Structure 1
């Protein structure tokens, strides 16, 4: 069934009336819009995850090095530092465990549901639960179960992000190996963390509820934007599928011809010499049939490609060929999936420690206030942006993605140790983010749902994983 977003239809109507002669390269237009929209979507997801790590410094402030007269904790985060850390740990665990468990169901649903609705609804619900966390201050809520339930619900809703954006991107870009492009695209996690930190830090010392309410509103508006403009599949707007689909079709012709040729050779060997001339003729005819078939397929694709270059935004609907969704155990049998998932697991173990605890750690280990700690912590994500782009560039240049990934993971080990000794050194936080946020991005379109267990799309395993199965 054709699924054209309302916003795209509106743009087409406006351009038809105001600029009837307007035309564009639809394939480039839509592919670029998908890259931008999915980037915005996952930036919003991470933006809405960051406020709690910033607000921890106010929910349980460091009263030792502060001149504030109202240095008091928000119940139930009061008590000793150990008591507060335990409650914060419970909140983080509630979010992450619900996120990890729900990811299995989320991937299953994403492959069988309209992805535009899936992403839009997930972003809207994520915004609602971020908003509800902030309302605890407005309505003076101090029950720890309230915070735990909000975190569990938020974790479940946040699982819609990664499977959704990867599935849409896979529909448009397939398995193309553009390391630098996707290294830049992959910076959405760090950009989201930076924006989330800055927004939350702007209000955390005056009214910490706004540190949750505003990010919640932003991700909800982002979901509305996806609903209006995100085109899930090229076939919805009459564009051609990624190049590898055409290559797969050509490979099918090649395999059929090879089997036919083998059969003909076997028949010729078993027949008499008087039949050999006929067999040779059959082989020649078979070769001609294959060449004609391959040429026709190529020409049909070229005609379709040229038709998309300078036309209106919308064109006649082409019914898509539905693919069978792969199951969890089927995905585990794919070479490399288990190894890459384990690599992602340990990488996230480090990344999420910094995501949730770095601002509070800086606040309690230095003389920084809550706002300064949050602002300082963004250096980790600035390093993550550079690391992601650097990993993509190195992978493109060397064509050795797995080696790039391994090298950066090894470099992250001493950096994590050193940062504990040099928590006040700007350069150290920056470098640590550079090597530990670079990424392991599983981008196989048909495998995305079951091989990712968290939101930080770690990049450079992507192309090695892709080449190893493709």
Structure 2
């Protein structure tokens, strides 16, 4: 490993790295504020507009489709223009869209601008991952990102609490205005602080561009690449398998976000208690995210696929516990805590530390977008499949079938991670022999 990787950071490098970490952390919180505020306002919007509540599903579906497509678009644009540009453009467009939502009365306009918002929102995670990729060394990436990737959970808490307060006090229009106003300050912070690499502020590089800490794909590390180089990365089979693994993760995570409170309610908890107990999944997920980052550096020595395999096996154990726990809602909620602890590790790694490592730091934004794009199909499919299961089955039978489906997806996750682990071992053995 070169001297760049081993040289202690200067005070200026440390200060700027803290700026970047804080800036990207708050930036993704801003993305959440302008992404999900619609989900808590849609009932009130439908009532005020005289729509059926089910009609709002078309508005949100337009967002989900655009978000999935936008991952691929932004992964290329981020690799071509750099993370800072796509963060400024994406977050700026999202602020404008949310402000317009607060002024709208037209169903077609909601659908059209929600699609635009989805494309803009898709710049968030690739841009933030790309934004920190050249500020973190491989040996510390897991521990730091284990904490850093809690940003989406914090964003969830803020938009639900503050957005709910604005909704209840001044109505849904001001909920949109308020989230846009707050995010405008976040956008200004990105404008002032965000730099793609230390050299942009006259500092020495923090990372070694030739470092192969977890690297498995040979790709250009230039600041800007032609479309042909992007396609070379996008079509690599390893990236596709990472996408399948992340598809499984997002299928499971969004299924529990959407259905767990209802399942606990069916099993006997009141609606409010079901909501509270479903948070066990998220709370253990925070701990699991930090734990996965810690063991990535300390125990697995950067082998992100090995950590994901370990967590995948744990997810299977968690779902087996759920299935055999019976219908006691308290026991079931605790068993889902095991699932949350194990599932959030791969969730953070596959589009975090792994995305930065697998094709080199310069390609982190591209890999993140591609993997997240494949994974983003999962939430759409799970909603349709589980919704159909619950619609065509008795409640208890529907829950049982949904859990078996989730167990199957956790097996798909584990098999994908097993292949990734084998492949990385093979690549590193080949490098060692050379």
TM-score (ref. length: structure 2) = 0.67
Find the residue that maps to 1:54 and give its secondary structure. Answer: helix
Contact 1:47 1:194 (8 Å CA) reproduced: no
Residue 366 (structure 1) shift: 6.9
Deviations 1:375-403 (A, max 9, x none): 87655433332221122223334313232
Greater Rg by CA: 1
User: Is residue 2:9 matched to residue 1:46?
Assistant: no
User: Is residue 2:60 matched to residue 1:99?
Assistant: no
CA distance in 1, matches of 2:109, 2:190: 30
User: Is residue 2:251 matched to residue 1:349?
Assistant: yes
Residue 174 (structure 1) shift: 5.4
1:146 counterpart residue number: 109
Find the residue that maps to 2:168 and give its secondary structure. Answer: coil
Deviations 1:199-229 (A, max 9, x none): 1221333412233222222222211110011
Contact 1:384 1:436 (8 Å CA) reproduced: yes
The 5 Å alignment of 1:341-380 reads: 341-355=243-257, 368=271, 380=281
217-226 or 396-405: bigger deviation: 396-405
Contact 2:91 2:121 (8 Å CA) reproduced: yes
User: Is residue 2:105 matched to residue 1:203?
Assistant: no
2:22 counterpart residue number: 36
User: Is residue 2:42 matched to residue 1:74?
Assistant: no
User: Is residue 2:290 matched to residue 1:389?
Assistant: yes
Contact 1:126 1:219 (8 Å CA) reproduced: no
Higher helix proportion, which one?
2
The 5 Å alignment of 1:306-321 reads: none
Find the residue that maps to 1:244 and give its secondary structure. Answer: coil
CA distance in 1, matches of 2:318, 2:151: 20
Contact 1:91 1:151 (8 Å CA) reproduced: yes
Contact 2:280 2:333 (8 Å CA) reproduced: yes
Listed as ranges, the gaps of 5+ residues in structure 2 are 1-9, 213-220, 301-305, 379-412, 429-434
| Gap change, CA 1:184 and 1:45, over 3 Å in 2 | same
Residue 436 (structure 1) shift: 3.4
Residue 150 (structure 1) shift: 2.4
Contact 1:134 1:212 (8 Å CA) reproduced: yes
1:233 counterpart residue number: 197
What is the root-mean-square deviation of aligned Cα atoms in Å? Answer: 3.8
1:189 counterpart residue number: 152
Aligned residues: 348
Contact 2:318 2:336 (8 Å CA) reproduced: no
CA distance in 2, matches of 1:204, 1:362: 26
**Matching residue within 307, 315, 320 for 1:401:** 307
**Matching residue within 312, 330, 333 for 2:232:** 330
1:443 counterpart residue number: 356
CA distance in 2, matches of 1:361, 1:135: 36
CA distance in 1, matches of 2:99, 2:322: 33
Find the residue that maps to 1:336 and give its secondary structure. Answer: helix
2:389 counterpart residue number: none
Contact 2:142 2:294 (8 Å CA) reproduced: yes
Residue 188 (structure 1) shift: 0.8
Contact 1:95 1:154 (8 Å CA) reproduced: yes
Deviations 1:1-27 (A, max 9, x none): xxxxxxxxxxxxxxxxxxxxxxx7111
389-398 or 104-113: bigger deviation: 389-398
Residue 97 (structure 1) shift: 0.6
2:399 counterpart residue number: none
TM-score (ref. length: structure 1) = 0.63
CA distance in 1, matches of 2:172, 2:28: 24
User: Is residue 2:89 matched to residue 1:160?
Assistant: no
Residue 161 (structure 1) shift: 0.9
